[in-house]
Amino acid sequence: MLTLPKSLKVDRNTKAESKLVKRVKDWLERDSKDRKGIHASDLLDPRKAYYDKTNPQPMTARMVGLFFVGKVLHSFLLSALLGEKGTNWKSDGGSTIDKELGISYSPDWKKLWKGVNIPGEFKTNRSKYEQSTSDLKSYLEQELIYQVGEQSEDGRLITLMLNLPAPRGEGWGTYPQFRCYDVSVDKSGLKEYRAQLIKFRKLLERALKTKKKADINKLPLCRDYKCGRSQCPHYNDCKPEGRFGLRKWDK
């Protein structure tokens, strides 16, 4: 071990941190500017998608950090998965428009198998415990949109668990670990899910067209962890029914 000089000083530079966050935010925003129309991800929480589209808010430092890590790891994982030399900075497998669904969608990759494109999705996760199917719900909601789009009963989901405790016998602490899942659904499940997507897309389109509160409130409430004054910048405009005015959500 080397001995550091006694005169060494290390001062945290918060000004430089703010500048860096701004740079990364600008870079992330430049990269997402050309997204038009309704995208698969808008149907996961369509009410938030409505407010994000009609009243876009600047990214917070938290969003910048999370999106940056997700984006970079996406490119690395896909490059490794697809056998690229070096890094391919495209962070998905390209966008497809499904006219009947009325949305565009971009699975991370597709693999042709028996004449069907099997779509796959990659997610990073910071939980410290092994994920159950219910923990994977929001990922599965998204993966199933791709399976509907590709009319594939099969799909793949990969998670990189960044903080999972090391398995017994592999030392102390945590290390990032991959989990791979085969996802399958039957034809009627795909059909029902497609009908649900079309319904949500139509509700979102209607709200975007009329901008009337009655139409906006027909959009389902977003999932719990995205909602609340401290989580959602649209809380005061949205006034989510059954939540707004309650301490749990207002704080």
- List contacts with ligand SF4 (CB under 6 A): 45, 47-48, 51, 221-222, 226-227, 232, 234-235, 238, 240
CB of 164 or CB of 207, closer to ligand SF4: 207
Angstrom distances, CA of residue 63 to CA of 60, 109, 129, 138, 166? 5, 24, 23, 18, 28
Q: Give, in degrees to the nearest 5, the angle at Cα 103 between 194 and 216.
A: 85
CB of 229 to ligand SF4, least distance (A): 8
> Any idea what DSSP says for residue 21?
H
CB 155, CB 184: distance < 8 Å: yes
CB of 23 or CB of 211, closer to ligand SF4: 211
- Using a CB cutoff of 8 Å and minimum separation of 24, what contacts does 77-83 make? 77/122, 77/158, 77/160, 78/108, 78/109, 78/122, 81/109, 81/122, 81/158, 82/109
CB of 47 or CB of 156, closer to ligand SF4: 47
CB 145, CB 104: distance < 8 Å: no
CB 123, CB 146: distance < 8 Å: no
CB of 143 to ligand SF4, least distance (A): 22
CB of 181 or CB of 235, closer to ligand SF4: 235
CB of 122 or CB of 235, closer to ligand SF4: 235
CB of 39 to ligand SF4, least distance (A): 17
What lies within 8 Å, CB to CB, of 12 at 6+ separation is: none
CB of 244 to ligand SF4, least distance (A): 8
CB of 234 to ligand SF4, least distance (A): 5
Q: Token digits for 46?
A: 């369509």
Q: Token digits for 6?
A: 């006694």
What lies within 8 Å, CB to CB, of 248 at 6+ separation is: 228
CB of 56 or CB of 176, closer to ligand SF4: 56
CB of 92 or CB of 215, closer to ligand SF4: 215
CB of 233 to ligand SF4, least distance (A): 8
Gap between the Cα atoms of 32 and 44, Å rounded: 18
CB of 48 to ligand SF4, least distance (A): 4
